[in-house]
Structure 1
Amino acid sequence: MGTGDDSAPKPEGAEQEPPQRVMLYSHDTFGLGHLRRSRALASALTAYNPNASAIILTGSPVAGRFTFPEKVDHVRLPGVTKLPDGTYISQTLGLDIDQTTSLRSGLIQTAVEQYEPDLLIVDKEPTGFRGELLPTLEWLSDRGTTRCVLGLRDVLDEPTVLAAEWERKGATIATERFYDQIWVYGPRSIYDPTQGLPLSQETRARIHWTGYLRREVTDVAETPDTPYVLITPGGGGDGQAMVDLVLEAYELDPTLRPNAVLVYGPFLSGETREGFEARVAKLDGRVTAVGFESRIESLFAGAEGVVCMGGYNTFCEVLSFDKRAVIVPRTIPRLEQWIRASRAEELGLVRMLDEDRDGMTPQTMVDFIRALPTQKKPSQAGANGLLDGLDVVVARAAALMAEK
């Protein structure tokens, strides 16, 4: 399996590259996915060209807990919180959501005007959070010196839901008007996230599938000396059900091995975590837990297998570190994780624990964990041919900025 139809030329020696400024917009209203993807892209782009620098605009409240390469920095936008009904509130400033959005929008435009990027990469949201990017996109369009790219993960949502969302946000119009290229961070052979969107043929011709973004251990963390299964719900904000099921499995079967290392994620609520901690303490060391690990790549690299949700970054890590994995995808508020996990299971890359098909019972989880050693590794299903994303992004970025 290859990465699709992308054939970007590989640029020649990095020493010939001129100074370049890259800005990445990552709205980050929930979870870690957008920030971690942007950090991976910025790291690759600056590693390729020693004269390049990058700034990430992010709303993530935990951005400061990550390390960034020497030529990569970040600007923290005022945070917002997504409520269960899908609406948003400001996190801390005592401003209503309109005021917060206006403040964020002004900060974004000021940063762009001062930094004057050669390339702007926008993650997932063509108009930004609640349209906050539109004034900046208009300004850049009039100025004409910055190339703009819309970066999309491999799966966004089911097509009819996505089309309605983009219509409501004016995202289709913005994509047609403001973006020089669209990069899909996955292989075309897996999924087309734009299916169902009313994009013109001219705009579709600007879509390039890069392949998945390969991850590496860049900042080593300590890992257990004994075999372990890594349990990770990503950011953790919607991972309570999966963590609960894993703990129930170890509580049900005292002989269940390997032991588990559980990373709650920074967004699992404190009260919920306290309850989990009490249960972990009763498992005689068979499960150990930490709240947040910014260097989780080390834990992936050392694991015998992985039980996880189906977020984009976690899936990239499963493939990159060639780990046997059980994915327990969320289905609310989006079907994104279920679509990704079910397609990956079809291709033999992972196993999916599907509530309707398998049942979300402790015994089911016991059986899935026990079966991990007999699963095929992703590499046996061709995963290595799906991981060219960072190389393709570096090549495309260099070619696009050379057109200025």
Structure 2
Amino acid sequence: MREDEASSGPRVLIYSHDTFGLGHLRRSRAIANAIVSGDGWARAVIVSGSPVIDHFAFAPGVRTVRLPPVVKFLDGGYGSRDAAVPLDRTVALRTDIIARTCAAFAPDMIVVDKEPAGFHGELLSTLAWAAERGIRLVLGLRDVLDEADRLVPEWERKGAVETMARFYDEIWVYGLSRIHEPLAALPMDPETAARIAERLTFTGYLRRDLPERRPGREEPAMAKGPFILVTAGGGGDGAALIDWVLAAYEADPGIPLPALVAFGPFLDDAARAGFDARIRALAGRVSAITFDSEIEFLMSKAAGVVAMGGYNTFCEILSFDRRAILVPRTEPRREQAIRALAAESLGLVRVLMEEDGREPERMAAALRALPEQTEPSRVLVPGLLGGLEAVARRVRALAGSGLGDQRVRACS
């Protein structure tokens, strides 16, 4: 451990495989920032495969380690981002970086995001190493994983339930059971199910605050007045959403509020070029940006939001109390649809399912009605946004005792 990293507070390593999009990285950032903000002596390291991790700012006390990135193909398979490098070589390199980072940082706790064994099992050796040394192991899950018919065979193939039961001291679900129970459909024998239930905590959703404003930050002129924010998250699978919104503005010149579209950094270049041409033809009623790593500022100003319904965007909609239309994707997972429809049933958002028809008039009618929707705060859901506070409490409880002795074991 480097001398300048010495600290009397808990040391938490957060692993995020990040094969696609921005969701895992942004969730890990929120958790890490909350941990160090709640305890000035705490330190956190995020180990991530996100190729855009350098675009984000982190709280003092949070460091990042970048893993060689991988990409996900349309058929569900994976490859190295550098196509000349075999995937197994990339996984071996990632495994080595994770192990060396753990040994150097000497964490009191490791929080793993979503994948119990890591990407292609790259975390298994580190989990065994940590368990031998008494390092606390936590699996963090978003509120929804997928429908049972997709989730069960995937987790069985990966041996995820066995890994979860063998290694993890606690399992945190960043949501509420009344919206979804992500592990309920998994087949488990009674003994394993009982062990998992004892370790399971529903934290509530992860509240988001405005970040510290980056020096020299500039915003589009449209953000100075009332506008609708259209965000496709990372953008890699957001083209259909953007197309539908643009079609609505093309079909209905009377939509009262203009739209600001955030394409996302992973939107296909050809798709973006086509959208840019259509936006120019809309003569100021729609404008676009590529990406905003501080999109919370735009979210907080918007009169309403149109989004796909990924976990982080949903947390921001709740946190900034924005009226929202969600258009969830259903491939390759139905995660967004499950979340969105459950939230709509509680009165928190409005949902448009593409399978019910993509007529421009449907979207235009929803955009017209958006300013009159009920804000999420008008719906009383106990514990809805208590996730970060719950995480900070569990970190103090799990990693707050015997830190010095544990670090000696970790470094031995």
Does TM, normalized by the shorter one, top 0.5? yes
Written as runs of structure 1 = structure 2, the 5 A alignment for 1:295-310 is 295-310=294-309
Match of 2:147 in 1: 158
After TM superposition, the structure 1 = structure 2 runs for residues 281-296 of structure 1, keeping only pairs within 5 Å, are 281-296=280-295
Paired with 1:344 and 1:330, the residues of 2 have a C-alpha distance of 15
Which residue of structure 2 aligns with residue 148 of structure 1?
137
Corresponding residue number in structure 2 for 1:401:
399
SS of the aligned residue for 1:122 comes to strand
Which residue is equivalent to 1:276? Answer: 275
Q: Which moved more, 1:94-103 or 1:339-348?
A: 94-103
Q: What's the Cα RMSD here?
A: 1.3
Q: Post-superposition shift, 1:403?
A: 4.8
Which residue of structure 2 lines up, in the alignment, with residue 82 of structure 1?
Answer: 72
Shift of 1:381: 1.2
Cα distance, 1:336 vs structure 2: 0.2
* Alpha carbons of structure 1 residues 329 and 178: separation in structure 2 relative to 1, 3 Å: same
Contact 1:213 1:388 in 2 (8 A): yes
Give the partner amino acid of 1:84: L
Query: Residues 403 and 193 (structure 1 numbering): CA distance in 2 closer, same or farther, change over 3 Å?
Result: farther
Query: What is residue 208 of structure 1 aligned with on the other side?
Result: 201
| Contact kept in structure 2, 1:29 and 1:59, CA below 8 Å | yes
- Residue correspondence of structure 1 range 1-400 to structure 2 within 5 A: 18-92=8-82, 94-144=84-134, 146-197=135-186, 198=188, 199-220=192-213, 221-223=217-219, 224-357=223-356, 359-382=357-380, 385-400=383-398
Aligned equivalents of 1:18 and 1:311: distance in 2? 36
- Name the amino acid aligned to 2:387: G
Deviation at 1:218, TM superposition (A): 1.2
Superposition deviation, residue 280 in structure 1: 0.9
Rate the CA distance shift 1:133–1:391 in 2: closer, same or farther, 3 A: same
CA-CA distance at 1:192 after TM superposition: 0.4
- Which residue identity lines up with residue 147 of structure 2 in the other structure? E
Q: Following the alignment from structure 2 to structure 1, what is the Cα–Cα distance between the partners of residues 382 and 232? A: 24
Partner of 1:7: none
- In 1, Cα distance between equivalents of 2:277 and 2:74: 27
1:67-109 deviations in Å (ceiling 9; x for gaps) = 1111111101001010101111111273111111111011101
Shift of 1:402: 2.6
Are the counterparts in 2 of residues 260 and 288 from structure 1 also a CA contact under 8 Å?
yes
Cα distance in structure 2, aligned partners of 1:201 and 1:387? 27
1:255 shift after superposition: 2.0
| Cα displacement (A) at 1:332 | 0.3
What 5-or-longer segments of structure 1 have no aligned partner? Answer: 1-16
Q: Aligned to 1:299, what secondary structure does the other structure show?
A: helix
**Partner in structure 1 of residue 3 of structure 2:** none
Letter in 1 for 2:164: T
For structure 2, the residue ranges without an aligned partner over 5 or more in a row are 1-6, 403-412
1:57 positional shift: 0.4
Distance 2:60 2:355 in 1: 47
Structure 2 letter corresponding to 1:379: S
**2:359 is matched by which residue type in structure 1?**
T
TM-score by length of 2: 0.91
Which range is displaced more, 255-264 or 304-313? 255-264
Aligned pairs, number: 386
2:97 and 2:355 map into 1 onto residues whose CA distance is: 45
1:151 alignment partner, SS class = strand
Shift of 1:143: 1.8
**Distance in 2 (alpha carbons) for counterparts of 1:319 and 1:260:** 20
Q: For residue 39 of structure 1, give the secondary structure of its aligned residue in structure 2.
A: helix
Cα deviation 1:39-87 (Å, max 9, x = unaligned): 0000000001111111100000000011111111110100101010111
Confirm or deny: 8 A CA contact 1:229 1:307 kept in the other structure.
yes
**DSSP-derived class of the 2:224 partner:** coil
Q: Report the Cα distance in structure 2 between the residues aligned to 1:90 and 1:316, rounded to whole angstroms.
A: 31
> How many angstroms apart in 1 are the aligned matches of 2:401 and 2:43?
19
CA deviation string 1:185-238 (max 9, x = no partner): 001221101111224201211000000000011133555111100000111110
Runs of 4+ in 1 over 4 A off after TM superposition: none
SS in 2 for 1:386: coil
| Contact 2:9–2:400, Cα closer than 8 Å, also in 1 | no
